[in-house]
Amino acid sequence: MRPVADPERPSLRRFTTAVILGAAAVTLPYLWVLWDLWTGKINVLRSVAPNNFYELQARAMFDGRLDVPRGSLGIEGFLHGGRTYTYFGIWPSIIRMPILPFSHHWDGALTAPSLLIAWVLTGVFVGLLLWRIRFMMRGNALVGRAEAASYGALMATILGGSVVLYIAANPSTYDEDFAWSIALVLGSLFTLLGLLERPTTKGVVASGLLILAASLNRTPTGYACTITAFLIAGWFAMGKGGQDNRRWAPWIGLAGLIPLLANCAVTYGKFGMPFGLPMAEQVWAHTNAHRRDFLAANGGKAFSFGFIPSTAWAYLNPTALRFTSVFPFLAAPATPAHAITAVTLDQTYATSSVTAASPLLFLAALWGTITAFRPRGLGQIRYVRLVLVGAAIATGGVLVWGYISYRYVSDLIPFLVVGSAIGLVDVWRRLEGASTRARGWVMAVICALAAFGVAANTAITASPSTWFSSTQVHGFVSQQDSTTPGALARTVTRRTSLPYYAPAGSLIIINSCDGLYRSTGDTYKDSPGQQIEHSTWAPVEQAGFMTHTIDMQFNTDHWTGPAVPLLTYGNATLLLEPAPGNHALIRVVNAGAPALRWPSSVGFAFPQVLHGVYQITVTTDPNLHSIVVGWYKSTMINRYLAGTGPAQVAVTPVPGVGTSLPSITVTEVPMPPTHMPICRSLLNASTPTTVGQRG
């Protein structure tokens, strides 16, 4: 980008101040979502499982390989050639590698910091792109105060009024690659646009490095960056950038080709193929019948052009947002997205859309797309068209993928950023010379749309999803009860048992506060193991008799068995068993379920430590029909459990005088009584009908 002659000139000052203020306006909401989100405390290392895939991959790379320990990825692992691989890119692993050699303490704890860095870089690249596009379209034309403020509103919308905020709510492996994809694609487009304006060696190197990072992070969007580089190389090769600049064509082509080859090399090293994924080799495909049916219906692939009507409608549906009388008053659809043509989709979730939840982005990008391809375009818009096409290609992956979730809207963000930048620049060009009143009205509309986007995405993000912990769900419903108690009470149903499904936000009290549960709106009809344990329902409050805290102490340095009971529940038993390598593991036996391969009845192995005490929290919920074994800040087991109990901790008897301690000592930690204040409040504030529905 050509340097501005005087960096203190009003245009640059106004622009910079506005975009910084726009980012600052949504920083606190973003950090609350990333570090707290109803947990009641700030945790800069907050994470959600799975959260250690990138660490596992990084440690494998230290040893010169790409495969990770067998079983360490659960259902997400790919079994190829007798080894286990992750399908996630290696970029997030690479950025962890300078830290991991010093300690295992950080394993699984680096996702939130990584998301924050990606968010900051997203803001930086958005600001740079906005200014570059504005300069290329209008040159040194003065940036007025209203125009500058509109760019600040756009910055706030991108960083806090879009899916960018939503993916911070779930600091896990699943969302981290999306966060980095947004940042790296925007960075790649910024440098590629700079090459179109004025090619330089530094620009080619910067483009190559950013495209390489994007390609090693997320394959579909990496391909889009590579294709954009090829388009620009072709542009120069044809002399469109001037005869003197033809010499840059091969170098820009290499900036796209080398990252493509690197991506192919990694994919080949994992799966013996340069492109695609062997979907039938994923553990989930071996475990889940619907995944196998989905692949069979689509020729063994997870993508198809036939999915586009359904995915495009889900991500662009203007009605994909609900207004409610209950805090936070806005919400995603109450039921999962569905196919609108005769296709078989994989998993679908309740998904809001760009159109409904980020209207400023959508409308400005629509305006910008039309502007970009209008004959006799403004300034150097012909250059911007190429990166707009490249950004549009980045959306292709999610549109042909047979899986619908709001987080996938992330791949639309680069297109929306470039398109909306073009749109806003053109809007203010057209308003040049207009009255102050007219410009004020336009600014008011832009700010209103931006504020609505921030409010909508904050509400969607703050509402419980599948990944929320029980603490988070409790915090959210508690806020609803204190903010809109009457409206919340009117949504409650009283039952004797939980149904398998209800729309999102439904609240059910079991009997006289044996439990209070809220529906996420996600359906598990295609996952029998989760359906029979009522995974649609998130516990808000559970009766005290359901939860037991257990300490396990190793009194020998090498325990080899036999298995030790920790807790019994009817015919079921929770066992502590020895595992290879002087480890131990916990297993549920006789749970009473049909033959199910997943969710697993076995927890992960942990080391035996002489005199070491491990603590677990076991919740046996007869309403959900589940047993959940909590291991410090993570969940070790979440499994179906038949019967009604009661649960009994198998406490080790106190040894007599002169009697040695057994190999394992099991004790129960006393817990404070559970008063279930929200359930009692709702029960007293309403007269819900009792319905005896068995599910």
Cβ–Cβ under 8 Å, residues 497 and 692: yes
pLDDT (0 to 100) of residue 6: 53
Tell me the two tokens of residue 41.
């405390």
Q: What is the pLDDT of residues 644-654, one digit of tens each?
A: 889 999 999 98
Q: Label residue 1 by pLDDT band (50, 70, 90).
A: very low
Q: What is the pLDDT of residues 172-214, one digit of tens each?
A: 999 999 999 999 999 999 999 999 999 999 999 999 999 999 9
Distances, alpha carbon 306 to alpha carbons 211, 279, 309, 336, 404, in Å: 29, 18, 7, 19, 14
Predicted TM-score (pTM) above 0.85: yes
Q: What is the DSSP letter of 652?
A: P
Gyration radius from the chain CA atoms: 27
Measured in residues, the chain has a length of 695
pLDDT (0 to 100) of residue 4: 44
Cα–Cα distance, 107 to 557 (Å, whole number) = 26
Q: What is the pLDDT of residues 249-262, one digit of tens each?
A: 999 999 999 999 99
Q: What is the pLDDT of residues 285-338, one digit of tens each?
A: 999 999 999 999 999 999 999 999 999 999 999 999 999 999 999 999 999 999
Q: How far is CA 285 from the centre of its chain?
A: 21
Q: Label the pairing between strands 547-554 and 572-579.
A: unpaired
Tokens 């087991």 correspond to 637
Q: Is the pLDDT of residue 166 over 90?
A: yes
Cα–Cα distance, 390 to 396 (Å, whole number) = 10
Cβ–Cβ under 8 Å, residues 351 and 405: yes
Q: Is 679 helix (H, G, I), strand (E, B) or coil?
A: helix
Q: What are phi and psi of 552, to 5 degrees?
A: -120, 125
| Over residues 607-613, mean pLDDT | 93
Q: Where are the domains of the chain?
A: 10-462, 470-543+679-691, 544-673
User: What separation, in Å, do the N-terminal and C-terminal C-alpha atoms of the chain show?
Assistant: 63
The CATH number corresponding to 544-673 among 3.40.50, 3.30.1180, 2.60.120, 1.20.144 equals 2.60.120
Tokens 């677990």 correspond to 616
Q: What is the pLDDT of residues 451-490, one digit of tens each?
A: 999 999 999 999 999 899 999 999 999 999 999 999 999 9
Q: Where are the alpha helices (DSSP H) in 238-358?
A: 249-271, 283-287, 289-297, 308-316, 354-357
Tell which residue, 198, 200, 273, 188, has the closest CA to residue 230: 188
Q: What is the pLDDT of residues 111-130, one digit of tens each?
A: 999 999 999 999 999 999 99
Q: What is the DSSP string of 119-154?
A: HHHHHHHHHHHHHHHHHHHHTT----HHHHHHHHHH
pLDDT (0 to 100) of residue 341: 94
Q: Is the pLDDT of residue 5 over 60?
A: no
Q: What is the mean pLDDT of the chain?
A: 93
Tokens 């963000």 correspond to 413
pLDDT (0 to 100) of residue 695: 54
Q: Which of 17-31, 233-247, 353-367 has the lowest mean pLDDT?
A: 233-247
Q: What is the DSSP string of 523-579?
A: --TT-HHHHTTTTTEEEEEE-GGGEEEEEEEE-SSS-----EEEEEETTEEEEEEEE
Q: Is the pLDDT of residue 8 over 60?
A: no
Cα–Cα distance, 311 to 395 (Å, whole number) = 11
| Over residues 584-607, mean pLDDT | 89
Q: Which helix (H) or strand (E) holds 182?
A: helix 173-197
| Over residues 525-541, mean pLDDT | 94
pLDDT (0 to 100) of residue 78: 96
Cα dihedral sign, 224-230-232-234: negative
Tell me the two tokens of residue 7.
């960096």
Q: What is the DSSP string of 388-412?
A: HHHHHHHTHHHHSBS-B-GGGGGGG
Cα–Cα distance, 95 to 507 (Å, whole number) = 43
Q: Is the pLDDT of residue 686 over 80?
A: no
Cβ–Cβ under 8 Å, residues 669 and 549: yes
Cβ–Cβ under 8 Å, residues 461 and 169: yes
Q: Which residues does 18 contact at the CB level (< 8 Å), separation at least 6?
A: 148, 149, 150, 151, 152, 155
| Over residues 593-610, mean pLDDT | 87
Q: Is the pLDDT of residue 147 over 60?
A: yes
Tell which residue, 292, 270, 348, has the closest CA to residue 87: 270
Angle between helices 201-217 and 173-197 (to 10 degrees): 160
Q: What is the pLDDT of residues 374-392, one digit of tens each?
A: 888 788 898 999 999 999 9
Half-sphere exposure (Cβ direction) of 312: Cα atoms closer than 13 Å: 10
Cβ–Cβ under 8 Å, residues 303 and 403: no
Half-sphere exposure (Cβ direction) of 447: Cα atoms closer than 13 Å: 13
Q: Is the pLDDT of residue 7 over 50?
A: no
Cβ–Cβ under 8 Å, residues 446 and 150: yes
pLDDT (0 to 100) of residue 375: 85
Tell which residue, 252, 176, 266, 178, has the closest CA to residue 216: 266
